[in-house]
Structure 1
């Protein structure tokens, strides 16, 4: 059963199924979303893996831990290593989406032998192109100053979810849940937003990743377009690329049934012995 756990050494609320006898899977959420985006995956994988979904530094329940104007991807990676080490987990797989993938590739390059497998969705390793960076910096400044207007919420929904998913009756309840979540976000999320927008390129780190990696790329992903997933596929030595129709930046929410099944099967696949 999925439950929230609060650790008494300064670590945040997180989802932890606490099945210590099973292989661990660390789930890293998107900017603007939360660890709860993995609930369906965790339910589908119950009894197969121990799932741990931490909350990133500077987001929702961790706003008070940030004293600077930016939370970098390296800051987030450092923080996660502390959490993982405190839990006593030596080796684990990662499932990550968007910002979660930005952090995951840095973790997997820094300590490659501790990562068993990775699934990256709506992810890239490049820096934000200058034109998009300028536009998103303006968005960060507006949010910090005025919060989340109706126009801003609509813009973020268009970034996070494909037009086909937003028009789908089957996905309507899931999409609307996250709209309500975004409407309630704090303007104090700005340092975390800035960290994503101003991230450095991690392309030169990809060759150091040894974990078999499944890259899931939505055809309708405009925030991290398919060409950026191709770059991951080209540079990660042991990678597979799955291009998904009728999905955009958030495949795990847009098409959970097929994405959850493929993710769990990939994580459960025996690793080839050289």
Structure 2
């Protein structure tokens, strides 16, 4: 995997810090990754997008090289506040958002919060409505078990990893993800538990989608087990003028599994709407 360390920076908040990559020049793209991942999830997109755009890929609170999840951060709206504070600190007035999973969830909140500043929104493998009650209870139970164990037990890792990939995944991707989950311990486990409850207990942002009047691209892996194609279809139906793209042979982390397809779709969308 390419090292992007030379592009890494840190943004200090009062009670934590956000680590982020800042690459390229041009219209600004703010990238948000999936729960349990970090900005390296975008490794196949960063160099491609940075040829035409300024790409800022943030590590979510409690993930990657960012600081812990402070008590103040108790909703995705607060996460969006902190991301907007980062844009303010960088003196960036207008930007687009490219989010996958929770990255799209806080991305939608940010687009609603600052409609004059967010130019376009891409939501990949996500759902901004309520977490269905059955899956929320399942995930809360898993978080309870992880907290009690002080880490993610091996059998649970074996259950979690397939949720993020297609039916025929690349073993390099699954092995690397499993290793990253195995390495989580101590304070990071507390962060994962806190952020997990925040994500799966999120509000129903679908109540406000009529306010999303900017260009919106919705993309979903057709083999996504964590966020169904149906959920993307529901968002597409609810967001006037949005575009829906199905990503073939891809699971939840579609940007890794079908990077060429995803890159082409992203470049076509951004090139159409950003100048």
Structure 1 length normalisation: TM-score? 0.89
Q: 1:96 aligns with which of 72, 96, 99?
A: 99
Residues 22-52 of structure 1: CA deviation (Å, up to 9, x unaligned) = 1100000100000111122011123200000
Distance 1:143 1:97 in 2: 24
Report whether the alignment pairs 1:194 with 2:197: yes
**Structure 1: which 5+ runs fail to align?**
none
Report whether the alignment pairs 1:11 with 2:17: yes
Aligned to 2:160: 156
How far off is 1:63 after superposition? 4.5
The runs of at least 4 consecutive aligned structure 1 residues that moved more than 3 Å come to: 7-11, 60-65
Structure 1 residues 203 and 250, CA gap change in structure 2 (3 angstroms): same
Distance 2:157 2:232 in 1: 26
Report whether the alignment pairs 1:113 with 2:116: yes
**Structure 2: which 5+ runs fail to align?**
none
Q: 1:241 aligns with which of 236, 239, 244?
A: 244
Q: 1:217 aligns with which of 216, 220, 227?
A: 220
How far off is 1:222 after superposition? 2.1
Structure 1 residues 121 and 202, CA gap change in structure 2 (3 angstroms): same
Aligned 8 A contact 2:222 2:248 in 1: yes
Q: 1:5 is paired with a residue of what secondary structure?
A: strand
Aligned 8 A contact 2:247 2:258 in 1: no
Report whether the alignment pairs 1:176 with 2:182: no
Q: 2:65 is paired with a residue of what secondary structure?
A: helix
How far off is 1:252 after superposition? 0.5
Aligned to 2:43: 39
Aligned to 2:139: 136
Structure 1 residues 125 and 67, CA gap change in structure 2 (3 angstroms): closer
Aligned length: 264
Distance 2:49 2:65 in 1: 26
